[in-house]
Amino acid sequence: MLDLSIAAVTGRVDAFWKLVRTEQLPELGQGPRAGVTEVVVLEPRLRAFCSDHGVPAERTGCVVATGLLYHDHQNEAHDLVQDMTDVDGGLIHAILHRREPDYWNAKYWFRRVGDHPVYRRLASRAHGLAGAGPLAKSLTLAGTVDALGFVDACETVAGRHESDAEVAYLRRLQHAEFEELVEHLLAATE
């Protein structure tokens, strides 16, 4: 695989978010929230995006699953990743179960994934997000975002109102996680 130029990756990423961005950030749980695109409309658009932007076939399933999960279509995203054996598919699977919420299963998948570059890059962003404080520090003590700690934090705030400061911060962190995941998935080509 050859790495794409920074400009090419940025163009792909911008095009992806133009297609997928929603007014509200995804909830920590399943949703659904207002403003998401129906799966029967979104999935073909995501597949066309992958084709139009030269996303390799082996990455298309992950890109589509990520877009579906961002729009709260857990079942359809799960159908795409459940049989994937690579770390990127495993990572999407873990995030999906964290949002389900099936915290034990999410931790199982995060353990299988291990150290993923998404969490090393996410660590540098975690402190710059609005509302970062002691929670951001506790999630990044090792210089990377602690994915298992992220699961624990989501479980701790489950049931709290979206206006809760920790809930709002974790939603921003989750959105940044999606951004880093998309950039990672779109950064390489055949």
Kindly state the average pLDDT of the residues 35-51.
97
pTM of the model: 0.94
Kindly state the average pLDDT of the residues 13-24.
97
Tokens 């949002």 map to which residue?
A: 99
Write out pLDDT tens, residues 67-89. Answer: 999 999 999 999 999 999 999 99
Single-letter residue type at 37 = T
**Per-residue pLDDT, 8:** 82
Nearest CA among 84, 92, 19 for reference residue 58: 84
Write out pLDDT tens, residues 87-131. Answer: 999 999 999 999 999 999 999 999 999 999 999 999 999 999 999
| Separation of alpha carbons 184 and 179, rounded Å | 9
* Phi and psi angles of residue 188, each rounded to the nearest 5 degrees, phi first: -125, 150
